Amino acid sequence: MLMEAQSQQQATKTHQYDAADVVLDCQAKQIFYSDFLAVRDSHVPIVKNKITGFIGPSGCGKSTVLKSINRMNDLIRGFRFEGNVHFHGMDIYDKKVDPVSVRRNIGMVFQQPNPFSMSIYENVAFGLRLNRYKGDMDEKVEKALRGAALWDEVKNKLKNNGLSLSGGQQQRLCIARAIATEPQVLLMDEPCSALDPIATRQIEELMVQLKERFTVAIVTHNMQQAQRVADQTAFFAVDISRGGRTGYLVEMAPTAELFSNPQEELTKEYLHGEFS
C-alpha cells in the first residue's frame, strides 16, 4: 500500500520517457556514506544522445548520484548504494559486475581538470592502451582530440606534458581522454566550475557536439548552463526534516518544460532564486 503510494509519487516526479530511448536508468533508493543517508528516492533515466542536466543546491546529492552511475563512489570507504542502475539490460550494481568494466564503458570528466603527468598524446592514448587497442593509435588520438575541439591547438606539441596546457585546454584534454575509447555514456561532474567564462563556453559548445555520438549526463550548479546545454533537467533538493541532510530528486522534465512550467513548489522557489 505504502509502496504503491510511493511509486505513484515517483511517477508524478519523473517525466515519462519512452523506454527505448533510455540508455541508462538510475534508480537510487538510498545512498549511504557509512551511516549517513546522502540520497534517497531518486529515479533518473538518462536518454540516449541527449544531455541530461543535474541541478540543485549544494549538498543535494547530485554529484553523488552522478558518480554512482559509473561506480566511482566505490572508492569511498563506507559508500553503499541501494537500488539499481540498468544499463544494457543488466544492473551495474549486480554483485557479478566488475566496477572496472563499468567505468570503461561509462566515461567520466571531473570537476578539476586532471590530466596525467605525461604527454598530451599519451593522455589520450591511455584508455586505448588500457583496453589493449591494437589498431591505428595515431588516428584514434587525433579523432578524440578533434572530438574535444583541441586538435588544432595541440597538433604541433603532442609530446608536451598535458599539465603544461591552460585550465580550459586541460579540461578538453580530459574530455578527449574520456571519449577516445568511445564509451556510450559520458558523465561530467561540474566540468566548468574551475574554468573562466571563455573556456566554459567552449566546453558547452563541445558538449552539444558530443551528444551526437555520446549520451551525456552533467552536474552543474549553474542554472543558465543547464538551460543552454541540457535537453532534460533533473532538479534535486536537500531534505533536512529528519535531522539529516538527505538529497532527493524533486522533479525531472525536458529542460524547457522544467524551467517554464515547474510542477513542484520547491522547483519554482529554487528557479526564482528564493533559496540556494
- Would you tell me which residues interact with other proteins (CB under 8 A)? 70, 72, 75, 100-105, 107-108, 110, 112, 114-118, 126-127, 129-131, 161, 163-164, 174, 177-178
CB of 148 to other proteins, least distance (A): 15
CB of 195 to other proteins, least distance (A): 15
CB of 163 to other proteins, least distance (A): 5
CB of 132 to other proteins, least distance (A): 11
- The residue among 189 and 204 lying less far from other proteins, judged by its C-beta, is 189
- The residue among 182 and 231 lying less far from other proteins, judged by its C-beta, is 182
Residues 61 and 83: their CA atoms lie apart, in Å, by 15
CB of 198 to other proteins, least distance (A): 22
- The residue among 114 and 184 lying less far from other proteins, judged by its C-beta, is 114
- The residue among 39 and 106 lying less far from other proteins, judged by its C-beta, is 106
What dihedral angle (degrees, nearest 10) is formed by the CA atoms of 251, 252, 256, 260?
-10
- The residue among 53 and 115 lying less far from other proteins, judged by its C-beta, is 115
